[in-house]
Chain A
Amino acid sequence: MIELPPELESPPVPWTRRHLLDLESLSAAEITTALDVAQRFKDATRDCKDRLPTLAGVTSVNLFFEDSTRTRTSFSLAARRLGADNIEFSASSSSVSKGETLLDTAKTIESMQIDAMVVRHRSPGAPQMLAKNLDCCVINAGDGPHEHPTQGLLDILTIRQHRGTIAGLTVALVGDIAHSRTARSNIWGLQKLGAHVIVCGPSTLVSKQWEKLGVEVSHDLDDIVARCDVLNLLRIQFERQYTRPFPSVREYALLYAMNRERMEQAKEDILIMAPGPINRGVEVTPEVADGSQSVILHQVNNGLAVRMAALYLVTKAPR
C-alpha cells in the first residue's frame, strides 16, 4: 500500500455529483476533472497495480443484469485497489423473471449498508430510477443503448494520453450507432471537449437525425478514413435488433471493417480503438486490431483508472 497523493485527499473542484449516470449532463470541466483524477490514480499506482487506502470502509456493489467482462472486472478491481469492499451481485437477465422488481432488488441490497451501486441494465433509465429512489451513490455501467459514461471517459482518456488534447481532433465512431451506448457517451464527451465527431455506419444504423446532435453523419468509411485522427470501432449489437438492419455480416464487413487496405488510406498516427468485445473480421480485421496503431488494450487498462476515479468522485462528493 502506498501513500495517497495529497491532491486526492479531498474531492477536486468542480465535482458535486453523487451519481455518475451519463456524460450528457456533465460539463466540460467535470469531464476534465474525472479524466485528471483517473490519470492521477494511474500515475500514483504504477498503472493501477498498487493499492491505495483512499476508500477504506466504503462498500460497492456490482449489480449487473447484462453480461459483462471488462466493465464488471474493472469495477471490482477498481474498488479493491482503492481499499473498498466490493460485492458481486449475480442477477439473471431480468429481475422481472424472478418476480422481484429491479427497485426491490436494489433496495434490498442497499439496506446492507452499501455506499455505491454500479448498475448495468438492458433498459435505458434503470440507473436513473435507482438514483432517484436510493440513498447510495449510483454509477451507470451501461443502460441499454442509452449511455455508458465510464466507457466514454476511458475512451477519451486513452485519446488524451496519446494526443495530449481532445480539442481539434477528428474522431469517427463506426458501426452500430443506433444501438450503442458507447457512441452516445463518446459523442457527448468528445464534443464538450472540442473534438469533431463523425458517426459512420449503414443508413439503417445511423440516420441523418444524428446531425442534430452536432456530429457529422457518414455512410462511407472510405470517404472519411483519411481525415480521422481516431477510429472507434463499435460492435454490431445483434441482441438489440429486431430485424437485421443490413443484408449480411459479409456485406457489413465489406463496407465497414477496418482492414489493411483502409489503413493505407489513413493518417500514419491514427489511433484504432474498440470498446470491445470485438468481432474479429466484422468491424476490424485481426492485423489492424493487433497492429501498431491499435490502443484497444490501453483502453482496457484505462478502464481501471477511470472506474477508480468514478467510485472515488461519487462516494467523496458532499451529500
Chain B
Amino acid sequence: MTTVTRRNVLKGGAAVVGGMAGILATGRAPAYAQATTVHWLRWTDFVPASDQLLRNEIAKEGEKALGIKLNIETINANDIQARVTSAIQSGSGPDVVCVLNNWGQLYGESVADVSDLAEALGKSQGGFYETSRAVANDGKKWIAVPWCIVGLQIAYRKSWFAEIGYTDGKFPQTWEEYREAGKKLKAKGRPIGQTLGHTFGDAPAFAYPYLWSWGGKEVEADGKTVVLNSPATVESVKFMVAFWKDAHDEGGLAWDDSNNNRAFLSGTCSATLNGASIYIEALRKPDTYKTEAGGQLKDDILHAALPKGPGGQFSYHVPFSNLLMGYSKNQDAAKKFLGWIHSKDVYDKWFVSQKGFSVGPTTDWEKHKLWGDDPIMLPYKQAARTGRFAGYQGPSTRKAAEVVTKYIIIDMYAKAVQGMPAEDAVKWAEAELKKVYV
C-alpha cells in the first residue's frame, strides 16, 4: 500500500502548478494530454446505416491508421448553416463541416485552401463531376473537398402508373405527359407529392431544373446580369399553377424533406422527386411497407429522371462537400483525415453503405460493382452527369448560394400556386434576385 505523505502531496501540487503555468503560457495542453481529435460535423444521414458505419467502424479505423480521434457529430441538415455561422464568428467549433448544396460558397473567406487535396483526389479518381466543382471551387481555389452527390430522381409506383397506361416501367417523358398522368392519378386519390416549401433538398432540386427545362435561368453566363423575367419563366410559372392544381398534393407547399418520404411509404402519393431514401427504407423494412394488394412496397418502386420541357431536360442533384475550417487548430490532422477518408478503400465502405443513395464526387465511382446489385438503383448511377447547379448560367457563386438559402426560385412558384399572377410572381423573384446580384 502506498503511503501518501505530506511531502508527496506538496511535490504533486508543485508539478500541477508548474504544468498549469506552462499550459497558460503556451495556450496548449501538455503533450501527454493531447489526443489529436478531429471534430467532423455532418447532417443526420437519410441512410442511418452510413452514420452507424462512420461511428462504429470508420472512426475506429481512423484512430488506428492515423492516430487521430474522430469526433463525429450529426445534426439536422437545416441547422448546419446556423452552426457554421456561429462557429466562424466565435472562431471555434468543428474542424471539418460537411455542407450541402453550394453553401460552402457563403463561407469562402473563412475556410482553409484545400486545393492540393482536392486536385489530387480529382486526378486519382477519374475527375470531378461539374456539380462537385461548381460548389467547392470559387474559381481560384478549392474551398472544400467534394464528398458526394445525392442523386435526385422521381420515385414512382410502378403499378399505379401501369394502371394509367405506363406499362413496362415507362414514365412520362414531358411535363405535359406528367401533368396528364398526375391528373388521372389525383382523380384516384393518388396525387404527385412535391414540396415547394423552405427545404434544403427536394424543393430546390425540383424548382431549378424545372425552370431550366422551360428555358428560364437566373443570370447570364457573366454571373451578374439577372435574366429571370423572360417569357420562358412566365410560361413555366403558368404551367406550374395548373400542374399543381391538377396533379399535386396541395399540402406540398408546407412539406419539408421528409414529408414526401412518409407520404410515399404510406401510399398517399404516387410519385415524388427524392433521393433514393424511400426505396432504401422500403428495402430495409420490407414487411412494414406494403402495397394495397399486400405485396412488398419495395417491389413496386421505380425511379425516373425529371421530364423534359421546351428548353431541354435537366436535373439538380444535391452535392455535399467538406469544409476545412480556417479557425481550426487541427488543420494538419484534419487534412490528413480528409485525405485518408477519401482514399478508395476507406471511402468504398461508406459508399457501399449508401446503396446508391449517394454517388461519389468523381466519375470513377460509376464503375463500382454496387451498380450491378440492384437495377432499381441504376438511374442514379450516372445521374450526376446531367446536373446543373444553382446560379446557372453563371457560376455557382456566393450570390447564387444566397439565392438558394433565401428560397427565391422556390417561392416564385409557391407564390403563383397560392394565387399570385404568374407575371407578378416572376417580377417579385426578379426584384429579389437583383437585390442579391447587385
Are A and B part of the same complex? no
Interface of B with A (CB < 8 Å)?
Answer: none
